[in-house]
Structure 1
Amino acid sequence: MITAWRRFADDHPRIVEAGFLLLLSMITIAQYIDTESGWWPGTLPASAACLSLVWRGRYPGAVAAFVVFCTLVTGATGYPISHEHMIPLVVAFYALGVRISERSARVYGLIAIVAFLVAAQWSIEDDEAQKLATFAPAFWIIVALVSGAAVQGRRAYLDAVHARAEHAERTREEEARHRVAEERVRIARELHDVVAHHMALANAQAGTAAHIVRTDPGQAGEILDELSRTTASALRELQAAVGLLRRSDDPESLEPSPGLGRLDELVSAFGSAGLDTTVAVEGERRQLSPGVDLAAFRIVQESLTNVVKHAGAGAAEVKLAYGGDTLTLTVSDDGGSGPRPPAPGSGGFGLIGMRERAQSAGGKLRAGRRPEGGFAVTAELPIHS
């Protein structure tokens, strides 16, 4: 039943407001009809006070002052200012407490109480009547202001809770979108590295095997075996990368991420494609965190892939320098006679992906041509990210 009335009030606020003011006016005017002084002229200021309540939402201060004035006029015409005649005053000061600041409402209330006190002292000689004319309005003004301030505080609290909930929801959605975007970039980077590396390596191995198949069938067979291993490795890594998109409840089923522990295997694969790659290590080998280990491996892989695809070089060097808390990784080639890799930022995703990998591991990467010829990619990565 209460819910139905509340729904009706929300749907028809003007009808509810009109009914409330009509009922309030009838109750207020009835108090003057029952008095010994008669209904005239007391009902005139009482009716004016009730009518002014229509504007209490828009002009709460002015309405409260006007109701105080009407009540004082009623008392000056000989009508008692008792609790029964305070209904318009209570409604006016309640609206005042709800709609303006607590400090301003206190000022209005204090001025109204002082006005009733002065009026009672000036126009009423009986002590009991003076006390009633002073304390009755003061009591109801204070009650109305405190109630209005409580409602205002409650509304402010609910608004703040609602705003925080909206902000939290919005932040959650933004964070979810951000995480999805990061995951898409990471998977795209993985797919690019896997496909670009293995396809370039397989193409080079197939070309080498086709070139020497007539002159050296045995070596061609070895290269074809290596080609078979390259394509099998490509399929496994593609399966692992695609598995990220369909992450099962058992992440252990995915193949572990590659790291520098597979560097010899990587160098051997490029050797079968005709790229003579040497590995030099400075300092004592250190255990890398999984993210750094993967980033280092992918940077070496992509750099050697670029050498095979773009440089036409016959030799490359991978240098790992362990110092302090930093691994400095350098991949360089001897220049060759083919076209150079694209300069950083000039297009393609190879250098962009390597730079992103270095940054995601907490390091940095630079790439460019060497003064003595050739091209070099250097990454500085933290040992533990």
Structure 2
Amino acid sequence: MAHDSAHRLRLPHGRAADLASACGVFLLAAVWNAAPLIREDPTEPWPVTLLGWLLIVAACGALYFRRRYPVAVTVFTLAATAAYYLTSAYDGPLLVALIVALFSVAAEGRLRAAVAIGAVVVIGVGIGTLAGNGDVNGVAIFMLTGWLVAVVALGTMRHGRFAFAEEEARRRATEERLRIARDLHDVIGHNISLINVQASAALHRLKKHPEQAEDALAAIKQSSREALGELRATLGVLRQVDEEAPTKPAPGLARLHELVASVKPTGLDVKVCNLGQARVLPAAVDLAAFRVVQESLTNVTRHARGATTVEVRLGFGERELSLAIEDDGDYGAVDRGAGNRNTGGSGIKGMRERVAALGGELSAGPGPGPRGGFAVTARIPYED
């Protein structure tokens, strides 16, 4: 199958397509003009015939530049074609060169220029008919007008299709950049926050209780190793490197115990409670739920003062997954209603975007408990 696709006939594109169109139109016009010479019954003087050939070469050769200078090439082709039909006795198909050039103008999005040139062609042919040109009648003018309208319409449709494809590609690229930014923020930000907290604890214990600083340093080593591994995995995906498939399972609620263990050295007691019968979640929902819990725990370790307990509740409903993460920390002057806006972060905003992309909702604000704290609640439908 790969062998057949490698030898499949492919149409030229780019400069090759321009050269092919110029040569094709020239071959068509040359064969038509050469027929009377082969039959040895020329009906016009040799200087006029030579001028006709020069006009054919000029009009067809200009098509090679039709993508770079569409309007200029079309105007030049129109002038050469008009001169040819006014001087030559052979009614050749050089009009095809003008049609190809006019299509290029419309395909490049120059609709007004295409309509104006098409109108000039119709008006010029009409004036020639009124002046006594018996080769063109009203029916021919009507058919020519239809051809020109169709060519401009096709060119405009092609321009619209390519413009839509480019816009779609830009939109997908933007969404992919946002997704990568959220993943990097969730993964790297979580581990760096833990490293920061554990480093502070190690410095605090180093002078008074050096033996207790060893646990904090070991936790820093483990968190930095995990952060480096996650960063390498993400960069490997971005580079599309052909490596062996990762053996570590993808982030999801099944790895929630690892997340809880990673924050335990900070002194937080994280309790996970399942409401309803646990079920296999779609991959996107599973990842989003894990990232919400991860970012919520990161915010607790980063912003809460005196937090000792975090409760994570997972509700497995019939159609959606509900999440609630509540802590008992003191956030002081931090604007809890806006998340971590005062700190310049984008954690809660990223969580909202991730959940909204799956058709869910997320809210964050002061906790309902007597000590206040902070609460993050979300609902994510299984199917959207």
Residue 358 of structure 1: aligned partner? 355
2-structure distance, mates of 1:326, 1:62? 72
Call closer, same or farther: CA 1:234–1:7 in 2, change over 3 Å: same
Aligned-residue RMSD, C-alpha = 3.1
- Does residue 1:187 correspond to 2:174, yes or no? no
Answer whether contact 1:285 1:322 (CA < 8 A) is retained. yes
Aligned positions, number: 283
TM-score, length of structure 1 as denominator length: 0.64
Residue 197 of structure 1: aligned partner? 190
2-structure distance, mates of 1:56, 1:194? 64
Which letter maps to 1:360?
A: A
Residue 84 of structure 1: aligned partner? none
1-structure distance, mates of 2:80, 2:364? 76
Call closer, same or farther: CA 1:150–1:265 in 2, change over 3 Å: same
1:318 counterpart (307, 312, 335)? 312
Of residues 2-11 and 189-198 in structure 1, the stretch that sits farther from structure 2 once superposed is 2-11
CA deviation string 1:153-174 (max 9, x = no partner): 3333333332222222111211
CA deviation string 1:331-358 (max 9, x = no partner): 1111336554553274520111111111
1:232 counterpart (215, 225, 234)? 225
2:123 counterpart (58, 62, 70)? 58
Q: How does 1:274-289 map to 2 (within 5 A)?
A: 274-289=267-282
- The residue matched to 1:196 in structure 2 has which SS? helix
2-structure distance, mates of 1:21, 1:308? 85
Which letter maps to 1:376?
A: A
Call closer, same or farther: CA 1:161–1:15 in 2, change over 3 Å: closer
Gaps of 5+ in 2: 1-26, 31-52, 61-75, 90-119
TM-score, length of structure 2 as denominator length: 0.64
Answer whether contact 1:328 1:381 (CA < 8 A) is retained. yes
Deviation for aligned residue 1:256: 4.5
Of residues 337-346 and 274-283 in structure 1, the stretch that sits farther from structure 2 once superposed is 337-346
Answer whether contact 2:361 2:379 (CA < 8 A) is retained. yes
- The residue matched to 1:318 in structure 2 has which SS? strand
- Does residue 1:295 correspond to 2:291, yes or no? no
Deviation for aligned residue 1:192: 1.3
Q: Which has the larger radius of gyration?
A: 1
1:267 counterpart (254, 260, 270)? 260
- The residue matched to 2:215 in structure 1 has which SS? helix
2-structure distance, mates of 1:242, 1:16? 57
Gaps of 5+ in 1: 25-54, 68-87, 97-144
1-structure distance, mates of 2:349, 2:80? 67
CA deviation string 1:229-262 (max 9, x = no partner): 2111111111122223212345834854311111
2-structure distance, mates of 1:207, 1:368? 27
